[in-house]
Structure 1
Amino acid sequence: MAAFSSSWKGVWKLGCLPTLQHIRHGSKAVTRHWREMNFMRQKLMAVTEYIPPKPAIPEECIKPPATLMEEENGYTRLLRRQVEQTFLENKMIAVCQYNYIHGNDMILMRHQLRKHNIHVKFFPNEIVRPFLLDSKFKNLLPLFVDRNLLMVSPETKAQEMLRILKRMPQIVLLGVYVDNAILSQQGFTNYAKLPSMVTAQGEVVGALSLLTSQTSTILQRGPAHLASLLDQYVKQQSSEADTSKEMGTPNKSEAS
């Protein structure tokens, strides 16, 4: 028995545990259950709760939100090139408000405009506005708000375009860029009533030729009047000489 106890003590010293242990299962001696805080204490804690002061300048104003740069796809770059080409290669650019039109009516209108070398272009405002902001057409920015369409032409075909737009009340003309000037609807209407460049040049040439002819007439009037006076004087002298011969009285030149 003493030998067994000594061997068991050696096992404990080596750190080995017995294979069987007796564990006591049961409830704890001390237990604390949750209890609701007193109502008055709740009010006191709510009143005395620390509220940090708000900054004078909101944090959003101090630190701007981080914006992620989105890469443009190929279609967006293509539209930007088309917008730039449209504005730089055409002399007349009309901005119109586009309402709903039946498909057949739209096709007919575009066909009629194409006869006069006027083309209809559709571009989203998100593509047009950045281009206008950094160009000489930036005064057209207020017109690109809602659904818009462009009527462009390398020539100034004002009368033809207004005549076709009168039959399309769904399309409202907002403004026109023509001859390096931005015109309103009424200004463009007055511009369309002006004669063409060829007619204006003919009128100017006619007015200038009329002035030159009047100048030459005025310059020739003095010598012609003087020549008529001299002719009249010569005729008068010859008639006096004839009468003096018939009367037998010497002429003033013969008497001298």
Structure 2
Amino acid sequence: MAATLCGNLLPKPGWLPLIQSVRHGSKAVTRHRKPVHILKQKLLAVTQYVPPPRGPPPGAYPSQRKQAQKESGFVILLKKEVKKVFQDNKMIAVVQNNNSSFEDMLILKHRLHRHGIFVKFFPNQVMRSFLSDSIYSNMAPLFIGSTVLFVSKVPKVKEMLSTLRASPQMILLGACIDNTLLSTQGIVSYSKLPSLTVVQGELVSGLTMMISHTASMLQHHPAHLSALLQQYIKQQSPDDGTQASPNGETTK
């Protein structure tokens, strides 16, 4: 039975199958995409459109006008006090308070009060709001953290520096002296300058010396000319200042 089936399934000699696979002689696809030149790649990368970042939707943040309108009456009062401080005082120093105790602050106030220097406390938000619209806007970066103001109507830099040496927890950040913003090194250099009275005395003495020297120079030529004229007159006189006596002798 098995031999009969195998004989029926196996192809007989001279028999061709009904379906034959015919392979056509088509060429293989050998074309590939040409690589882009390096200069063109750079040009495409540079000229590629980069969309701008999306900003916040309108109304997400309140405008500055609304914030200015929301200032309380207490903040407005503090800004007026700050403005008065800058108008009435010629020295305004910004000092950072590094965890100073209440007793140390009282002692520091007492020492500064002896020299006519007063301590003022204002919130940093109020100070920045005032400085942003004033000529002292460059002082705004100094108000970071816990800050204190040392103010005086007359610049007393030497006294302030000598007092701060006894309080290491108080660090001087900068100051505005005579409408001039100074750094810490600038304040130290300013303290080494002579006082106004000494400078005025040196100026007056220098001007007096110059005036006296000028006056002597102006008087020198007329005096010399007068002496020459007197000598010329004596030489041109007929008797040359001598008189003849009756005995024939000449006497002066």
Q: TM-score, normalised by structure 1?
A: 0.63
Offset of 1:226 from its aligned partner?
4.7
Aligned match of 1:77: 76
Q: Which residue pairs with 2:111 in the alignment?
A: 112
- Which ranges in structure 2 are unaligned for 5 or more consecutive residues? 1-50
Percent identity of paired positions between Structure 1 and Structure 2: 43
Once the two structures are TM-superposed, the CA of residue 187 in structure 1 deviates from its matched residue by: 1.1
Tell me what 2:151 maps to: 152
Q: So what's the TM-score if we normalise by structure 2?
A: 0.64
Label 1:216 to 1:65 Cα distance change in 2 as closer, same or farther (>3 A). Answer: same
Tell me, in whole angstroms, the C-alpha distance in 2 between the residues paired with 1:223 and 1:57: 86
Question: Which secondary structure state, in structure 2, belongs to the residue aligned with residue 135 of structure 1?
Answer: coil
DSSP-derived class of the 1:177 partner: strand
CA pair 230-71 structure 1, distance change in 2 beyond 3 A: closer
- The alpha-carbon deviation at position 186 of structure 1 amounts to 1.1
Residues 58 and 187 (structure 1 numbering): CA distance in 2 closer, same or farther, change over 3 Å?
A: closer
Between the aligned partners of 2:156 and 2:183, the Cα distance in structure 1 is 16
Question: Residues 66, 169 of structure 1: CA spacing in aligned structure 2 closer, same or farther, 3 A cutoff?
Answer: closer
Please report how far the alpha carbon of residue 170 of structure 1 lies from its aligned counterpart in structure 2 after TM superposition.
Answer: 1.3
Q: Whole-Å Cα distance in 2 between the matches of residues 65 and 58 of structure 1?
A: 16
Q: Once the two structures are superposed, what CA deviation does each residue of 1:82-123 show, in whole Å capped at 9, x if it has no partner? A: 222222221111011111223222211111111222111111
Q: Distance in 2 between matches of 1:227 and 1:146?
A: 79
Does residue 191 (structure 1) correspond to residue 190 (structure 2)? The answer is: yes
Unpaired segments of 5 or more residues in structure 1?
A: 1-55, 251-256
Q: Which residue of 1 aligns with 2:56?
A: 61
For residue 91 of structure 1, what is the aligned residue in structure 2?
A: 90
Name the CA distance, whole Å, in 1 between partners of 2:116 and 2:210.
Answer: 39
Residue aligning to 1:172:
171
Deviations 1:203-248 (A, max 9, x none): 21211111110011112223444556678889999xxx89xx9xx9
- How many residues are paired up? 191
Query: What corresponds to 1:124 in structure 2?
Result: 123
**Offset, 1:61:** 2.2
Aligned-pair Cα RMSD in Å: 3.3
Counterpart AA for 2:74: Y
SS at match of 1:61: coil
- Gap change, CA 1:233 and 1:112, over 3 Å in 2: same
1:1-256 alignment to 2 at 5 Å? 61-67=56-62, 71-226=70-225
Q: 1:187 to 1:66 in 2, by over 3 A?
A: closer
Instruction: Classify the secondary structure of the residue corresponding to 2:144.
Output: coil
For residues 217 and 57 of structure 1, the distance between their equivalents in structure 2, rounded to whole angstroms, comes to 80
